[in-house]
Amino acid sequence: MTDVLTVQEIQEAFDRIRPHVLISPLLPCLWCGDAVWIKGENLQRTGAFKIRGAFNMLLAQTQRGKVLGVVAASSGNHGQAVAYAARRLGLPSVVIMPENANRVKVEATRRWGAHILFAPPDSQARLRMAEEVAQEKGFLLVPPYDHPLIMAGQGTTALEILQQLPDVEEVYVPLGGGGLAAGVSTALKALKPAVKVLGVEPEGAADHYLSRQNARRTPWPEVHTVADGLRASIPGELTFPILQRYLDDIILVSDEEILQTMGHLGFQSKLVVEPSGATALAGLRQRQKDGVRQVALLSGGNVEGELWQAWVDLSARSSLDH
């Protein structure tokens, strides 16, 4: 059986997107432990790792032929990435967002020039509307995670981690649709098989955990989590078998753990990270091991100011109490 995604495709994506994407820093998380690092994808131009997959797909497709415009379905970060990449390449964009989308992400997507349409707060409903718009306009549909070019683009983060910390032992990745984890795990298991790759998922959106237990794609009955970027209700058709093959484990974290970690990142690391972006580190904190070189991906930093400030203040008071 031919692999859906290969490390060669990830390496090609790395070269393709290099002029457009930041090599994000790998920073020591000193308040976490002496051997913990955080990968700052929240510092990307659009505030999240999604810019990698968006640029990889748009660049690859425009090289193959004319693209009239692009359509994406997104709760926010993917939409911003597609809108930004389209603008850089001179293409119109339409982004389908949930009716309850984070307003910070809606306005940011609009600022990059996207025409925004709203759908019910269900990932499958957004995808169906995006498919309809793409067919009607003759635009390229840029899926949020379930495509080899998207997964390959996201997987370039792993190549950077191996350059920045060659002796890394564990990498923690948030689980939404699974594109980031699929790309990262494919690259790491091909280039350094001994590295453990652990997916981290909110307790209120545990479709990957449930699907892993059932050994088949299983929808989560009622998605409810503060981590809006991780609210996919079922793993992707392409991402799921990759994650079944390569993930060493899946860790569940509560919303409180996610928000506490976000607050600590703000107060102690001086980093603005959204709940989805703090999820992997929340999982790492459950499994922290002295002397084991661990990396958590901070996948995004697009968060409403009031929520971020509240948890940073709480973190500050907690630190002072101790």
Cβ(213)–Cβ(87) below 8 Å: no
Which residues partner with 251 through β-bridges? Answer: 200
Residue 27: CB atoms within 10 Å: 16
Question: What are the catalytic residues?
Answer: 50, 299
Which residues partner with 199 through β-bridges? Answer: 173, 250
The Cβ-side half-sphere exposure at 78, using a 13 Å CA radius, reads 37
H/E run at residue 26:
strand 26-28
* Dihedral class, residue 257 (left if φ above 0, else alpha if ψ from -120 to 50, else beta): alpha
- The SS3 assignment for 65 reads coil
